A and B are shown apart, each in its own frame.
Chain A
Amino acid sequence: MTQKEIDWGRLDEIIKRHRDENWALIPLLQDIQEEFGYLPPEFIEPVAEALKLFPSEVQGVITFYAGFSLEPKGRNVIKSCRGTACHVKGSRSILRFIKKELNLEEGETSPDYQFTLETVACLGACFLAPAMMVNRTYFGKLSPPKVKSILAQYSRPKTGESEIK
């Protein structure tokens, strides 16, 4: 699967929604990321121009927040928890297992854009330790077999779901 052509029309629409707001930058970037799955670096200049900011300022905000990404992410973003509680409950081996299963290192995206593997400091679900998140769904009390079945669940596109946005 190759990266999709960038749809500038959709960007213009999002910009139009936000351009007259105060403090519009972060909501605007969130909307773009929601729409495109990531923030294409080519968008920095048009966003800056629309909000009368310097492009370097826009980039500074994007790279400051871990939640924004300038690189395309996989359709499924796995966030493996590396907090203390999960650590005690063996999250290190869980992470090692995910890495092996997906053949990905931390921060990497699979060449078919199916998975992105990330680690987070704490998911705030210590009672479920060891825990991880896939997209917006929490999975807790993980064990290698459980991880395996979760990953299998996300490996194929679900029927009825559209292509990667």
Chain B
Amino acid sequence: MDEINLTINGKKIVCRAGTTVFNAAKENDIRIPSLCHHPHLEPIGACRLCLVEDENGRILASCVTPVSENLSVQTDSPNVRAHRKNIIRLLMANHPESCIVCNKGNRCELRKIASQLGVGTYDLYPMPHYTGFEEANPFIIRDLSKCILCGKCIRADHELVGVGAIDYNQRGFRSRPATVHDRPLEQSSCTFCGSCISICPTGALAVKNVSFAGSPQKEMASICGFCGVGCSLVMGIQDNRIVDVNPSPVENSINQSTLCVRGHFAHDFLSSSQRLTTPLLRKNGELSPATWEEAFAVVTDKLFSIKKKNGPQSIAFFGSSKCSLEENYLFQKIARVILQTNHIDNGGFLTGRSVLNRFQSRLGGMSIGPLKDLEKAEVVLVLGADPTHSLPVLGYHLKRVSKIKGVPIIVADPRRTDLIPFASLWMPLATQTDYYLINGLAALLYHRKAYDAQFVKRFTQGSDEYFKELSAMNLDQISRVTEIEPEGLEKAADLLAGKKIVFVVGHGILQQRNGLEVIDALLNLALMTGSLGQRGTGFYFLTMENNALGAWDMGAVPDFLPGRQSLVDNEIRKYWDRAWKIKISPDPGLNIIKMIEAAEEGNLKAMYIMGENPLRSLPQPGQIRKAFDNLEFLVVQDILDSETVRMADVVLPGAAFSEKAGSFTNLEGRIQSFDPVVSPPGQAKPDWEILSFLGNQMGLPAQYRTIEKIRDEIRELAPLYSQWGKNGNSSWIKEKSDLALFHPDESGESALFSPLVPLKENIRDEDFPFKAILGSWRYHLGSGTRTGSSNRINQMPLSGEIEVSIKDGERLHLLDGDKIRLSSSYGSIERKVKVVRNQKPGLIFVPRAFYENDARNLLPLTTLEAPNSPGFKEINVKIEKT
């Protein structure tokens, strides 16, 4: 690496060639003031405050001046200070004098630099530039009279978030960041991620609907508790209330100065009036407040008496993909050790765990890497995923690698998602035909001999059979089934030929009827192209919930023990028998769907639900209600009042992630621990404390007075988590696979190709001619229990319109805003309709989470494996105008 010698303020410095004077100074602890510089953004030299002076008296903007050999600069000479003062004076003359009431408060960088330079009065004719805005959105206030044109919001929007809602408009004195046609934000492409607010150095951009104005008393780090990305946050606290949320400034955070609308604005749900603040007991049919002692006593007595009377198989535990690792570990330990039941599951079931299971069992590990590795990819194949809505920060990563790194992205999705403008190729395939598409692409690569034959030879077995099947494949037929023109397939093959692939797999696959078969096909393609075992290759799965992976890893599932170890493996069971000093039943327990069925049949007598709202998230609430009515005893431990809470016999008020210590495993396999930011409301307690107390009372031998004790036990017993906490706050799960391709010395087993299989017959029904896709909408997460309690989200005028194609709209005489009834053979919903271009005729999109997540009524309550299951993603429907 080339090195450059330069002198800053008389100090000799050696730095890397290509860096800027500003960065070289920063690395040597010489601070240069700046308003437009940000480490995550490309420098543009807009504010000119970072001026430095060279030996000849030339003034240079250091943020855009590359270092050169023997350069010598002064960063704080009288000349430089005089220039800086003048710039600040000019900015202030153009700035309203509203510091006293400005929400930016002490965090205003303009004010900070002005005071550092001692500019109190600017002695210039004031030239305020007033621009008023009428905006109806509940998230962002733009007061562009305070704008200093640093361009940070624009650059964050373009370079980090990749939405492009705003850019400079006009020039000179009239120049301002503006949307297209200068419309209000809610009429633009703005996604309200709020990244611009956090990055704005002044009060030009601010959060709307705040409960407190000014700088909060203190700021504390946390991890976002919404989706599987796990963004690092800083929460501003005032009087034990969270008043402000911003992306964390830590280096190497997954979100790098960005957040999404949920992470930035929906955290006001934490102070919702729906929060549970005291334990409740059902007395004479009514839930009434009780003490913790009473509640614990009832839970213990009831569970023990039911176990004694009906056996351990009559009790089930439903853990949470939103609760922490520690909590899920304790939860399943109470279930397995004290109540001796394997009937444990968590909310991650619905979002595709059985498909992930298949992946795990074939590879021996999920082998995911940091999202940052997407940059190293040769080509990215995105399947059944719209991260711009479901996991927005993952979407930003994809947009960045496409736009900035130039990595080709292929998107296979029936719908035109917001990712398409960034894609090299969009394959609008027919729904649930991913299996044929992937095999078709594999066949094309095989015909062209454009795959990694070396890799196949070294690390795999069964390729002969697989290639024979590929060579016999009829591509015309594939084209017919998938509705992708042969040229489209060829173009995809051009992009994939000879490349190692990164697969980004979303709920279109994970919740699909043929999800398991698609995963097999994808693995075959990955093995054939050598797209495993190296950085910049492999799979990323969109895990919907913050700790979906972690809840599984902690054994809050019917068939795995902590550390993602199979329950049916005798050796593993023996290991845990010894560790816990019990005898674990070798029979896997019931998953959540089977639990409901068992309760309906009367075989399940008691259920303990922690941090889940199955009445809102699972299909067919009527059926679930009946099942819960059948139970003798239902405990619900949660943070928000919900449909499920209202059916409980005992309600235990838990704490949200910001009110307790804990850890989440995100979709990368990154374990992130956090500390409480505020204390829980009322008498609510951190869930791990509730479980630790309950476990203690029920006779769990180990005592967990601190959370560290739970972590120690997990670290000791589960090899997957042995590295936890070894590397500060952010550590990685340690996966072990027997496959040679993951071992540098190539020792181990060969990976197997799986044979091609015929798929379940596509269900066609004349009565239900349309195919409805159920998907997420960025303002809500999952079924929307938490985001639905956010005032800001509720104030956004969203009606969750059903999207139909132009052709179908014309045929059925539908106009935007018309009310329609959408019915499947399982149920129906009524909503407004929106006619959208670029949608395939016959295809309908239904956003989830709206109206108490009514979309779930369209689906049946079955597992993916059930013979006639339509999956959780797509269903045949009909449309009626109402």
Residue numbers of A with Cβ under 8 A of B are 41, 44-45, 49, 52-57, 59-60, 63-64
B421 touching A56, Cβ below 8 Å:
no
Give A55 to B163 CA distance when docked, in angstroms: 10
Please give the distance in Å from A64's CB to the nearest CB on chain B.
5
Contact of B421 among A44, A52, A64 (CB under 8 A): A52
Which stretch in B164-172, B621-629, B742-750, B771-779 binds the other chain?
A: B164-172
Please give the distance in Å from B315's CB to the nearest CB on chain A.
56
Please give the distance in Å from A65's CB to the nearest CB on chain B.
8
Which of B167, B181, B421 counts the most chain A CB atoms within 10 A?
A: B167
Known contacts: A44-B180, A55-B180, A59-B180. The answer to whether A64 contacts B168 by CB under 8 A is yes
Q: Is B372 on the interface with A (CB-CB < 8 A)?
A: no
Q: Is B178 on the interface with A (CB-CB < 8 A)?
A: yes
Chain A residues, CB < 8 A from B164:
53-57
Give A41 to B183 CA distance when docked, in angstroms: 13
Contact of A63 among B166, B169, B179, B189 (CB under 8 A): B169
Please give the distance in Å from B123's CB to the nearest CB on chain A.
30
**26 A-B pairs (CB sep. < 8 Å):** A41-B181, A44-B180, A52-B421, A53-B164, A54-B158, A54-B163, A54-B164, A54-B167, A55-B180, A55-B189, A56-B164, A56-B166, A56-B167, A56-B178, A56-B180, A59-B167, A59-B169, A59-B180, A59-B181, A60-B167, A60-B168, A60-B169, A63-B169, A63-B170, A63-B171, A64-B171
Chain B 393-429 interface 0/1 with A at a Cβ cutoff of 8 Å (1 = within): 0000000000000000000000000000100000000
Give A60 to B165 CA distance when docked, in angstroms: 12
Contact of A49 among B166, B180, B421 (CB under 8 A): B421
Residue of B nearest to A42 (CB): B181
Chain A residues, CB < 8 A from B170:
63-64
Chain B residues, CB < 8 A from A57:
158, 164, 167
Please give the distance in Å from A15's CB to the nearest CB on chain B.
15
The 8 A-B pairs of least Cβ separation, nearest first, read A54-B164, A56-B167, A60-B167, A55-B180, A60-B168, A64-B171, A63-B170, A57-B167
B171 touching A56, Cβ below 8 Å:
no
Give A57 to B179 CA distance when docked, in angstroms: 9
Please give the distance in Å from B535's CB to the nearest CB on chain A.
28
Give A63 to B166 CA distance when docked, in angstroms: 13
Q: A41-B181, A55-B164, A57-B167 are in contact. List 11 more A-B contacts (CB 8 A).
A: A44-B180, A56-B167, A56-B169, A56-B179, A56-B180, A59-B178, A59-B181, A60-B169, A63-B170, A64-B168, A64-B171
Residue of A nearest to B182 (CB): A59
Give A156 to B354 CA distance when docked, in angstroms: 78
Chain B residues, CB < 8 A from A52:
421
Chain B residues, CB < 8 A from A56:
164-167, 169, 178-180
Which of A49, A53, A56, A59 counts the most chain B CB atoms within 10 A?
A: A56
Give A56 to B167 CA distance when docked, in angstroms: 5
Give A42 to B181 CA distance when docked, in angstroms: 9
Give A77 to B158 CA distance when docked, in angstroms: 36
Please give the distance in Å from B45's CB to the nearest CB on chain A.
17
Chain A residues, CB < 8 A from B166:
56
Chain A residues, CB < 8 A from B169:
56, 59-60, 63
Chain A residues, CB < 8 A from B180:
44-45, 55-56, 59
Chain B residues, CB < 8 A from A63:
169-171
Give A64 to B168 CA distance when docked, in angstroms: 8
Chain B 136-178 interface 0/1 with A at a Cβ cutoff of 8 Å (1 = within): 0000000000000000000000100001111111110000001
Give A55 to B170 CA distance when docked, in angstroms: 14
Residue of A nearest to B164 (CB): A54
Residue of B nearest to A57 (CB): B167
Residue of A nearest to B168 (CB): A60
Give A56 to B165 CA distance when docked, in angstroms: 6
Give the contacts of B845-871 with A (CB-CB under 8 A).
Answer: none
Residue of A nearest to B179 (CB): A56
Which of A45, A53, A57 counts the most chain B CB atoms within 10 A?
A: A57
Chain A residues, CB < 8 A from B421:
49, 52
Chain A residues, CB < 8 A from B171:
63-64
Residue of B nearest to A53 (CB): B164
Chain B residues, CB < 8 A from A45:
180
Residue of A nearest to B171 (CB): A64
Please give the distance in Å from B144's CB to the nearest CB on chain A.
15
Give A59 to B169 CA distance when docked, in angstroms: 7
Residue of B nearest to A64 (CB): B171
Give the contacts of B166-217 with A (CB-CB under 8 A).
Answer: 166-171, 178-181, 189
Give A41 to B180 CA distance when docked, in angstroms: 9
Residue of A nearest to B180 (CB): A55
